Protein backbone atom coordinates (compact mmCIF):
# COMPACT_ATOMS: atom_id res chain seq x y z
CA UNK A 1 0.00 0.00 0.00
CA UNK A 2 1.35 3.44 -0.89
CA UNK A 3 1.95 6.08 1.79
CA UNK A 4 0.19 9.46 1.55
CA UNK A 5 1.99 11.90 -0.73
CA UNK A 6 4.44 13.38 1.78
CA UNK A 7 4.69 10.81 4.52
CA UNK A 8 6.32 7.44 4.87
CA UNK A 9 4.01 4.63 6.03
CA UNK A 10 4.03 3.86 9.75
CA UNK A 11 5.21 0.36 10.58
CA UNK A 12 6.64 -0.33 7.12
CA UNK A 13 10.19 -1.73 6.91
CA UNK A 14 13.00 0.79 6.58
CA UNK A 15 13.87 -0.83 3.26
CA UNK A 16 11.94 -3.37 1.22
CA UNK A 17 13.44 -4.63 -2.04
CA UNK A 18 11.29 -6.93 -4.12
CA UNK A 19 12.19 -8.95 -7.22
CA UNK A 20 14.79 -6.40 -8.33
CA UNK A 21 16.90 -7.12 -11.41
CA UNK A 22 19.41 -5.01 -13.29
CA UNK A 23 21.59 -5.70 -16.33
CA UNK A 24 24.50 -3.89 -17.95
CA UNK A 25 23.95 -4.80 -21.58
CA UNK A 26 23.51 -8.56 -21.57
CA UNK A 27 25.28 -9.08 -18.25
CA UNK A 28 22.90 -9.44 -15.31
CA UNK A 29 24.28 -7.69 -12.24
CA UNK A 30 21.17 -8.33 -10.10
CA UNK A 31 18.69 -11.13 -10.62
CA UNK A 32 15.39 -11.18 -8.72
CA UNK A 33 16.75 -9.68 -5.50
CA UNK A 34 14.29 -9.50 -2.58
CA UNK A 35 14.89 -8.71 1.10
CA UNK A 36 13.84 -6.20 3.71
CA UNK A 37 15.47 -4.36 6.60
CA UNK A 38 13.28 -3.38 9.58
CA UNK A 39 13.69 -0.07 11.41
CA UNK A 40 16.35 -0.29 14.12
CA UNK A 41 18.12 -3.20 12.44
CA UNK A 42 21.79 -3.55 11.48
CA UNK A 43 21.75 -5.56 8.24
CA UNK A 44 24.96 -6.66 6.53
CA UNK A 45 24.92 -7.16 2.78
CA UNK A 46 27.72 -9.68 2.36
CA UNK A 47 29.17 -10.42 -1.05
CA UNK A 48 32.45 -10.82 -2.86
CA UNK A 49 33.74 -8.28 -5.37
CA UNK A 50 31.32 -8.12 -8.27
CA UNK A 51 28.39 -9.62 -6.31
CA UNK A 52 26.22 -6.62 -7.16
CA UNK A 53 26.35 -4.60 -3.93
CA UNK A 54 27.18 -1.24 -5.50
CA UNK A 55 24.66 -1.80 -8.28
CA UNK A 56 22.01 -2.42 -5.63
CA UNK A 57 22.99 0.78 -3.80
CA UNK A 58 22.86 2.72 -7.08
CA UNK A 59 19.30 1.51 -7.65
CA UNK A 60 18.15 2.23 -4.09
CA UNK A 61 19.57 5.77 -4.25
CA UNK A 62 18.21 6.29 -7.78
CA UNK A 63 21.56 6.82 -9.46
CA UNK A 64 20.07 4.13 -11.71
CA UNK A 65 16.39 3.82 -12.47
CA UNK A 66 14.95 0.42 -11.57
CA UNK A 67 13.02 -0.96 -14.51
CA UNK A 68 11.83 -4.10 -12.76
CA UNK A 69 10.80 -5.01 -9.23
CA UNK A 70 10.30 -2.44 -6.51
CA UNK A 71 12.26 -0.59 -3.82
CA UNK A 72 10.37 0.93 -0.91
CA UNK A 73 11.73 3.10 1.89
CA UNK A 74 9.32 3.10 4.83
CA UNK A 75 6.64 2.18 2.31
CA UNK A 76 7.49 4.91 -0.22
CA UNK A 77 8.36 3.50 -3.65
CA UNK A 78 11.56 5.14 -4.94
CA UNK A 79 10.10 5.43 -8.43
CA UNK A 80 6.64 6.62 -7.55
CA UNK A 81 7.52 8.83 -4.56
CA UNK A 82 11.22 9.60 -5.05
CA UNK A 83 11.34 12.73 -2.90
CA UNK A 84 9.58 11.01 0.03
CA UNK A 85 11.83 7.96 -0.25
CA UNK A 86 15.08 9.91 -0.69
CA UNK A 87 14.29 12.25 2.22
CA UNK A 88 14.31 9.18 4.50
CA UNK A 89 17.68 7.97 3.22
CA UNK A 90 21.26 8.79 4.20
CA UNK A 91 24.10 7.35 2.12
CA UNK A 92 27.82 6.81 2.53
CA UNK A 93 29.21 5.78 -0.84
CA UNK A 94 32.28 3.63 -1.34
CA UNK A 95 34.20 6.54 -2.88
CA UNK A 96 34.86 9.44 -0.54
CA UNK A 97 32.90 12.51 -1.52
CA UNK A 98 33.87 15.22 0.98
CA UNK A 99 35.63 18.39 -0.18
CA UNK A 100 39.15 17.97 1.19
CA UNK A 101 39.85 21.71 1.28
CA UNK A 102 36.74 22.65 3.25
CA UNK A 103 36.48 22.23 7.00
CA UNK A 104 34.31 19.57 8.63
CA UNK A 105 31.63 22.14 9.47
CA UNK A 106 31.71 23.66 5.99
CA UNK A 107 31.17 20.23 4.40
CA UNK A 108 28.24 19.48 6.70
CA UNK A 109 26.72 22.96 6.23
CA UNK A 110 26.88 22.53 2.47
CA UNK A 111 25.05 19.21 2.71
CA UNK A 112 22.40 20.77 4.98
CA UNK A 113 21.88 23.60 2.49
CA UNK A 114 21.45 21.06 -0.34
CA UNK A 115 18.65 19.51 1.69
CA UNK A 116 17.00 22.89 2.18
CA UNK A 117 17.78 23.03 5.91
CA UNK A 118 17.99 26.61 7.19
CA UNK A 119 21.36 27.59 8.74
CA UNK A 120 19.75 28.20 12.15
CA UNK A 121 18.38 24.65 12.15
CA UNK A 122 21.53 23.14 10.64
CA UNK A 123 23.97 24.58 13.20
CA UNK A 124 22.72 22.69 16.29
CA UNK A 125 22.19 19.54 14.22
CA UNK A 126 25.78 19.67 12.99
CA UNK A 127 27.08 20.24 16.53
CA UNK A 128 25.01 17.29 17.75
CA UNK A 129 26.12 15.03 14.88
CA UNK A 130 29.80 15.85 15.49
CA UNK A 131 29.45 15.24 19.22
CA UNK A 132 27.82 11.86 18.56
CA UNK A 133 30.65 10.98 16.15
CA UNK A 134 33.28 12.10 18.71
CA UNK A 135 34.50 14.81 16.35
CA UNK A 136 33.54 18.06 18.08
CA UNK A 137 37.18 19.07 18.46
CA UNK A 138 37.73 18.63 14.68
CA UNK A 139 34.89 20.89 13.55
CA UNK A 140 37.11 23.66 12.12
CA UNK A 141 39.76 21.40 10.63
CA UNK A 142 40.09 20.83 6.92
CA UNK A 143 39.12 17.33 5.84
CA UNK A 144 42.58 16.64 4.41
CA UNK A 145 44.09 16.92 7.91
CA UNK A 146 41.93 14.09 9.29
CA UNK A 147 42.66 10.37 9.45
CA UNK A 148 40.80 7.90 7.23
CA UNK A 149 38.63 6.78 10.13
CA UNK A 150 37.76 10.34 11.10
CA UNK A 151 36.84 11.14 7.49
CA UNK A 152 34.47 8.17 7.43
CA UNK A 153 32.87 9.37 10.65
CA UNK A 154 32.38 12.83 9.10
CA UNK A 155 30.71 11.16 6.11
CA UNK A 156 28.35 9.29 8.42
CA UNK A 157 27.62 12.50 10.36
CA UNK A 158 26.89 14.23 7.06
CA UNK A 159 24.59 11.42 5.95
CA UNK A 160 22.54 11.94 9.13
CA UNK A 161 22.12 15.74 9.00
CA UNK A 162 18.72 15.61 7.29
CA UNK A 163 17.57 13.03 9.91
CA UNK A 164 17.10 10.02 7.64
CA UNK A 165 15.69 6.80 9.11
CA UNK A 166 17.48 4.52 6.66
CA UNK A 167 21.27 4.60 6.37
CA UNK A 168 23.14 2.90 3.53
CA UNK A 169 26.89 2.34 3.78
CA UNK A 170 28.81 0.83 0.87
CA UNK A 171 31.99 -0.85 2.17
CA UNK A 172 32.65 2.05 4.58
CA UNK A 173 35.73 0.55 6.21
CA UNK A 174 37.83 0.03 3.08
CA UNK A 175 41.37 1.25 3.75
CA UNK A 176 40.89 1.68 7.53
CA UNK A 177 42.95 0.07 10.26
CA UNK A 178 41.36 -2.43 12.65
CA UNK A 179 40.70 0.10 15.44
CA UNK A 180 39.02 2.61 13.11
CA UNK A 181 36.93 -0.15 11.52
CA UNK A 182 35.67 -1.25 14.90
CA UNK A 183 34.87 2.38 15.86
CA UNK A 184 32.78 2.85 12.73
CA UNK A 185 31.00 -0.47 13.28
CA UNK A 186 30.26 0.37 16.93
CA UNK A 187 28.97 3.78 15.89
CA UNK A 188 26.71 2.26 13.21
CA UNK A 189 25.25 -0.31 15.62
CA UNK A 190 24.62 2.45 18.18
CA UNK A 191 22.64 4.42 15.58
CA UNK A 192 20.40 1.38 15.05
CA UNK A 193 19.96 0.68 18.73
CA UNK A 194 19.51 4.20 20.05
CA UNK A 195 18.03 6.08 17.09
CA UNK A 196 15.98 3.25 15.58
CA UNK A 197 17.66 3.73 12.21
CA UNK A 198 17.47 0.84 9.74
CA UNK A 199 20.96 0.32 8.34
CA UNK A 200 22.31 -1.60 5.34
CA UNK A 201 26.07 -2.18 5.53
CA UNK A 202 27.63 -3.60 2.35
CA UNK A 203 30.82 -5.54 2.93
CA UNK A 204 32.99 -8.36 1.68
CA UNK A 205 34.57 -8.74 5.13
CA UNK A 206 32.91 -11.48 7.11
CA UNK A 207 34.43 -10.44 10.43
CA UNK A 208 32.45 -7.18 10.31
CA UNK A 209 29.29 -9.20 10.96
CA UNK A 210 28.31 -10.06 14.54
CA UNK A 211 25.95 -12.59 16.09
CA UNK A 212 22.42 -11.17 16.06
CA UNK A 213 22.96 -9.07 12.92
CA UNK A 214 20.79 -9.67 9.92
CA UNK A 215 22.91 -10.94 7.04
CA UNK A 216 21.94 -10.95 3.38
CA UNK A 217 24.31 -13.00 1.27
CA UNK A 218 24.52 -11.71 -2.29
CA UNK A 219 26.38 -13.77 -4.86
CA UNK A 220 26.51 -13.12 -8.60
CA UNK A 221 23.46 -10.91 -8.34
CA UNK A 222 21.29 -13.32 -6.36
CA UNK A 223 20.33 -13.49 -2.69
CA UNK A 224 21.51 -16.86 -1.41
CA UNK A 225 20.50 -16.34 2.22
CA UNK A 226 18.74 -13.76 4.38
CA UNK A 227 18.21 -13.94 8.13
CA UNK A 228 20.01 -13.57 11.42
CA UNK A 229 23.56 -14.91 11.45
CA UNK A 230 22.34 -17.77 13.63
CA UNK A 231 19.52 -18.70 11.20
CA UNK A 232 21.76 -18.54 8.14
CA UNK A 233 24.41 -20.72 9.80
CA UNK A 234 21.84 -23.24 11.01
CA UNK A 235 20.06 -23.46 7.66
CA UNK A 236 23.32 -24.06 5.82
CA UNK A 237 24.34 -26.85 8.21
CA UNK A 238 27.71 -25.13 8.79
CA UNK A 239 29.46 -24.34 12.07
CA UNK A 240 29.84 -20.62 11.55
CA UNK A 241 29.10 -17.84 9.07
CA UNK A 242 32.43 -18.17 7.30
CA UNK A 243 31.80 -21.83 6.55
CA UNK A 244 28.18 -21.13 5.62
CA UNK A 245 29.30 -18.48 3.14
CA UNK A 246 31.93 -20.79 1.63
CA UNK A 247 29.43 -23.62 1.27
CA UNK A 248 27.05 -21.33 -0.56
CA UNK A 249 29.48 -19.49 -2.79
CA UNK A 250 32.35 -21.91 -3.36
CA UNK A 251 35.95 -21.88 -2.19
CA UNK A 252 36.88 -18.39 -3.45
CA UNK A 253 35.36 -16.36 -0.62
CA UNK A 254 34.92 -14.69 1.77
CA UNK A 255 37.76 -12.36 2.63
CA UNK A 256 39.07 -11.59 6.07
CA UNK A 257 39.95 -8.08 7.19
CA UNK A 258 43.59 -8.63 6.29
CA UNK A 259 42.60 -9.51 2.73
CA UNK A 260 43.37 -13.21 3.12
CA UNK A 261 41.11 -16.13 2.42
CA UNK A 262 39.63 -18.15 5.28
N1 LIG B 1 28.76 0.52 -15.10
C2 LIG B 1 28.89 -0.78 -15.35
N3 LIG B 1 28.96 -1.25 -16.61
C4 LIG B 1 29.07 -2.57 -16.86
N5 LIG B 1 29.14 -3.53 -15.91
C6 LIG B 1 29.09 -3.12 -14.63
C7 LIG B 1 28.97 -1.73 -14.28
N8 LIG B 1 28.93 -1.64 -12.92
C9 LIG B 1 29.03 -2.90 -12.45
N10 LIG B 1 29.12 -3.78 -13.47
C11 LIG B 1 29.21 -5.23 -13.33
O12 LIG B 1 28.11 -5.67 -12.53
C13 LIG B 1 28.52 -6.67 -11.61
C14 LIG B 1 28.25 -6.20 -10.20
O15 LIG B 1 29.15 -5.14 -9.88
P16 LIG B 1 29.05 -4.27 -8.54
O17 LIG B 1 30.03 -3.15 -8.64
O18 LIG B 1 27.64 -3.94 -8.27
O19 LIG B 1 29.55 -5.35 -7.47
P20 LIG B 1 30.05 -5.13 -5.97
O21 LIG B 1 29.47 -6.24 -5.19
O22 LIG B 1 29.75 -3.76 -5.54
O23 LIG B 1 31.61 -5.32 -6.10
P24 LIG B 1 32.80 -4.53 -5.35
O25 LIG B 1 32.85 -5.10 -3.97
O26 LIG B 1 34.00 -4.90 -6.18
O27 LIG B 1 32.50 -3.07 -5.39
C28 LIG B 1 29.99 -6.95 -11.89
O29 LIG B 1 30.06 -8.05 -12.76
C30 LIG B 1 30.45 -5.67 -12.57
O31 LIG B 1 31.51 -5.95 -13.47
Q: Is residue 177 part of a domain?
A: yes
> Nearest residue CA, atom 11 of ligand 1?
29
The length of the chain is 262
Residues 6+ apart with CB under 8 A from 13: 36, 37, 38, 39, 72, 74, 198
> Nearest residue CA, atom 7 of ligand 1?
24
Q: Is residue 5 part of a domain?
A: no
- Evaluate: CB of 203 within 6 angstroms of ligand 1: no
**Of 145, 163, 181, which closes a domain?**
163
Confirm whether pTM is higher than 0.90.
no
- Evaluate: CB of 54 within 6 angstroms of ligand 1: yes
Query: What CA–CA distance (Å, rounded) separates 227 from 210?
Result: 13
Domain around 216: 12-88+165-262
225: helix, coil or strand? strand
Q: How far is the CA of 202 from the centre of ligand 1 (A)?
A: 13
- Taking only the tens of pLDDT, the chain with its 262 residues reads 454 555 556 689 999 999 999 999 999 999 999 999 999 999 999 999 999 999 999 999 999 998 899 999 999 999 999 999 999 999 999 888 899 999 999 999 999 999 999 999 999 999 998 988 889 999 999 999 999 889 999 999 999 999 999 999 999 988 888 888 898 899 899 999 999 999 999 999 999 999 999 999 999 999 999 999 999 999 999 999 999 999 999 865 555 554 444 3
**Of 119, 137, 163, which closes a domain?**
163
75 and 105, same structural domain? no
Number of domain units in the chain: 2
- Evaluate: CB of 55 within 6 angstroms of ligand 1: yes
107 and 131, same structural domain? yes
Looking at residue 3, what is its pLDDT?
46
> Nearest residue CA, atom 9 of ligand 1?
55
Q: Is residue 184 part of a domain?
A: yes
Q: Which residues of 187-213 are buried (b: 16+ CB within 10 A; e: fewer)?
A: bbbebbeeeebbbbbbbbbbbbbeeeb
Amino acid sequence: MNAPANEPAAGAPALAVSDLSHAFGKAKALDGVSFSVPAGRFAALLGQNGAGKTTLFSLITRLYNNRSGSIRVYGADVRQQPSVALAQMGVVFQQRTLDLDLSVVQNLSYHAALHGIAPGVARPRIAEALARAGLDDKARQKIRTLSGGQIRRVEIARALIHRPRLLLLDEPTVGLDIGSRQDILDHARLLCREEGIGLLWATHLIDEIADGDQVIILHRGRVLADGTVEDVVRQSGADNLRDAFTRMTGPTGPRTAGGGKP
